[in-house]
Amino acid sequence: MLKIIEPLMSNHAIILDSTGDGKPPALAFYEVANKKLIPLIYIHRTPNMRRLRWLISPDDILRRLGLYEWFRGRRA
């Protein structure tokens, strides 16, 4: 998976989606996203609703990098 993702990271914003791939692939997505600081989403689907859930949000990544307060101050 990293062989595919790493070349894209230099020129593109990447968000991984772990929806519907089963438990082992979802865990692999999480490990890669966590290691490479890539946002990770999961879309919970029911017959009447779809809900996006951030497993690793952009804000989580900013916090890990110690940049959350700086970016938050710039948005205000």
HSE, side-chain direction, 13 A CA sphere, residue 29: 20
Q: How far is CA 14 from the centre of its chain?
A: 8
Q: Reply yes or no on whether the pLDDT at 22 is more than 80.
A: no
Mean pLDDT, the chain, integer: 88
Indicate the DSSP class of residue 5.
H
pTM for the predicted model, two decimal places: 0.79
Q: How far apart are CA 59 and CA 65, in angstroms?
A: 10
- Does the CA dihedral 15-57-62-66 come out positive or negative? negative
Report residue 71's pLDDT band, with 50, 70 and 90 as the boundaries. Answer: confident
